[in-house]
Amino acid sequence: MKYLFKLALKNIMKARRRTILTFLMLSFGVMVYLIMESMLAGFDKASFQNFIDFETGHFKIRNENFDEDHPYDTDYSLKNTDQIEEKLKNLDFVTGYTSRINFLSEIDNGIDSTPVITVGVDPENDSKVFSLKKYIIKGSLEKGGALLGKTLADDMKVDAGDIIYITFRSSKGMFTSIELLITGLVQSADPKVNNLTVFINLDEAREHMGVEGATEITFRVKDYQEPERYTKQLESDFSGFRVQSWKELSTDFTALMSTKRAGGRYFLLFIVVIALVGIINTLLMSVYEKRREIGTLMALGMEHNEIRNVFMIEGFLIGFFGSICGLIIGTITNLYFIYSGIDYTAMVGEGGMGFNVMGVIKSSWVISAYISSLLIVVFASVLSSYYPAKKVMKMNPAECLRTVQ
């Protein structure tokens, strides 16, 4: 067996153009797969971070009857926010909390209008939970003013210092239109914040909307990776409310992510097809071209199945070294993507790619991509070499030796 490996290796080393092409295609495929998986994992990580930093926080407390299908309805809000905040303040594992009111409105400049999410923000506490403040690029949020997503402001052709209106129906149902001075602009890594959100003062939101408390209180905890450890206490402390961790709040999001990640798997399937087609073709031609060599080996006393195995080992080696080569080049290329990252917004525009991210994204290492691409490509290569290799079994040595070349 060891000798057969040596023979196969010699054959590969002196490979013809076809073999080299198959090899390169496999390497390239594996390389792209690796880069793609790492990129998707990077997106995944960044998306989750954004989701936590801009939307879910670590935990949310909401009205028991809060309707997830209509998250911007103010029908079910929290009345006694002060009381809840006081309780949170006394929990040692809570590192920050804030109240927000979310509702839908339409923003207009007297020429155009567009639906937006309006968020009433507590100016004192918000930055203890959300990253909003860090991403303000101009001005600040002030009383009687509004903080607009940069993209939204651009779309509405307004800037800080301009006046806009938001129109909505108060919680009771009356059309309400308020005039706001844009006191700041925000540009974050979360497209939702940039494209369709208007931030106003929490107290003003309460007044205009006719809501007493808030629609949600969001807070951060010490160990957010394992929110489960706090659920029991939170449930008993806040019975009668809906308390959910970021994990529970992101189930739809997680599902969306995993469908996006499936893209990588389809790509792997594509490489497998290259392996099948490339290796079958290469080996079939090789078996045909090497008939006299095969006849010679048979005359020298090599058994049919040993010669078949040499060809299968060749298939294995093309797959194995092709993958290894792809993984090495992929890893080297990935170093850049992982340590420097790439500004995807600059590449594909602010619409993004349906991911919850913007700006520079760094890829992540995905160990499983190494293992799965190596195993699957090697397996597909050996499998696809079986069909051409088994042609050897039916060959007659005398006939092989007679072939003129």
Partner 1 sequence: MKKSFLLFFLLIPLIASAETADEIINKVDQNQLFITQKYKIEMTIKKGNRELAKEFFGYGQKDGDKAFMEFTNREDLGVKYLKLNDELWIYFPDADDIMKISGHMLKQGLMGSDISYEDLLETEEMKTKYESKFIKSENFDGRDCYVIEANAKVEDASYQKQILFIDKEKYIPLKIEMYAKGGRLLKNMLLSDIRKVGSRYVPWKIEIQDKRRRNSKTTLVFKEIIYDINVPENTFTRRSLKK
Partner 2 sequence: MLLEIKNLNKTYHSGKVDFQALYDINLSIKDREFTAIAGPSGSGKTTLLNSIGCIDRVDSGDILMMGENLTDKTQRELARFRRQNYGFIFQTYNLIPVLTVYENVELPLKLLKKLSDNEIHGKVHEMLNKVGLQGLDKRMPLELSGGQQQRVSIARALVKKPKVVLADEPTANLDSKTGQTIVALMKELNKKEGITFLFSTHDHFIMEQADRLIEMHDGRIKK
Instruction: Candidates 195-203, 259-267, 295-303, 381-389: pick the segment binding partner 2 (CB under 8 A).
Output: 295-303
Quote the CA–CA distance of 170 and 357 in Å, as a whole number.
Answer: 32
- Segment contacting partner 2 (CB under 8 A): 56-64, 236-244, 298-306, 321-329? 298-306
Task: Choose which of 112, 203, 223, 343 interacts with partner 1 (CB under 8 A).
Answer: 112
Q: Is residue 76 at the binding interface for partner 1, with CB under 8 A as the rule?
A: no
Q: How far is the CB of 305 from partner 2 (least distance, A)?
A: 8
Q: What is the Cα 322 distance to its own chain's centre?
A: 27
Q: Does residue 192 touch partner 1 according to CB under 8 A? A: no
Instruction: Give min distance, CB of 355 to partner 2, in A.
Output: 50
Size of the site for partner 1 (CB under 8 A): 27
Distance of closest approach, residue 153 Cβ to partner 1, in angstroms: 17
* Binding status of residue 89 toward partner 1 by CB under 8 A: no
Interface with partner 1, residue 110, by CB under 8 A: yes
Long-range contact list for 156-162, CB < 8 A, 24+ apart? 156/107, 156/108, 156/109, 156/112, 156/114, 157/109, 158/109, 158/182, 159/185, 160/184, 160/185, 162/109
Q: Does 177 bind partner 1 (CB under 8 A)?
A: yes
Q: Which of 172, 207, 190, 208 is nearest to 75 (CA)?
A: 172
Buried b (16+ CB within 10 A) or exposed e, 87-97: ebeeeeebebb
CB of 308 to partner 2, least distance (A): 13
Which residue lies nearer to partner 2 by CB, 6 or 229?
A: 6
Residue 1 site contact among partner 1, partner 2, none (CB < 5 to 8 Å, cut-off depends on kind): none
Residue 160 near residue 182 (C-beta atoms within 8 A):
yes
Q: How far apart are CA 160 and CA 138, in angstroms?
A: 7
| Alpha helix ranges (H) inside 119-161 | 150-155
When binding is defined by CB under 8 A, the residue of 2, 14, 65, 111 that contacts partner 1 is 111
What distance in Å separates the CA atoms of residue 279 and residue 12, rounded to the nearest whole number? 12
At 382, which amino acid appears? V
Q: Residue 70's binding partner, choosing from partner 1, partner 2, none, with beta-carbon cut-off 5 to 8 A by kind? A: partner 1
Q: In 3D, which of 247, 313, 248, 319 has the Cα closest to residue 279?
A: 319
When CB distances are held under 5 to 8 angstroms depending on the partner's kind, the choice from partner 1, partner 2, none that residue 401 binds is: partner 2
Partner touching 72 among partner 1, partner 2, none, CB below 5 to 8 Å by kind: partner 1
CA dihedral 275, 277, 283, 288 (to 10 degrees): 180
CA 97 to chain centre: 28
Residue of the chain from 253, 293, 324, 341 that contacts partner 2 (CB under 8 A): 293
Nearer to partner 1, 73 or 159 (CB): 73
Q: Which tokens sit at 51? A: 């989701």
Within 13 A of 50's CA, how many CA atoms are on the CB side?
Answer: 23
176 binds partner 1 (CB under 8 A): yes
- CA–CA separation, 334 vs 79, rounded Å? 51
**Site mask for partner 2 (CB under 8 A), range 253-292, x = bound:** ---------------------------------------x
210 binds partner 1 (CB under 8 A): yes
> Is residue 181 at the binding interface for partner 1, with CB under 8 A as the rule?
no
For position 296 contacting partner 2 by CB under 8 A, the verdict is: yes
Establish if 398 lies at the interface with partner 2 (CB under 8 A).
yes
The alpha helices in 79-196, defined as continuous H runs, are 81-89, 150-155, 191-196
Q: How far is the CB of 35 from partner 2 (least distance, A)?
A: 34
One-letter amino acid of 100 = R
Residues of this chain that interact with partner 2 (CB under 8 A) are: 3, 10-11, 13-14, 292-293, 295-304, 396-399, 401-402
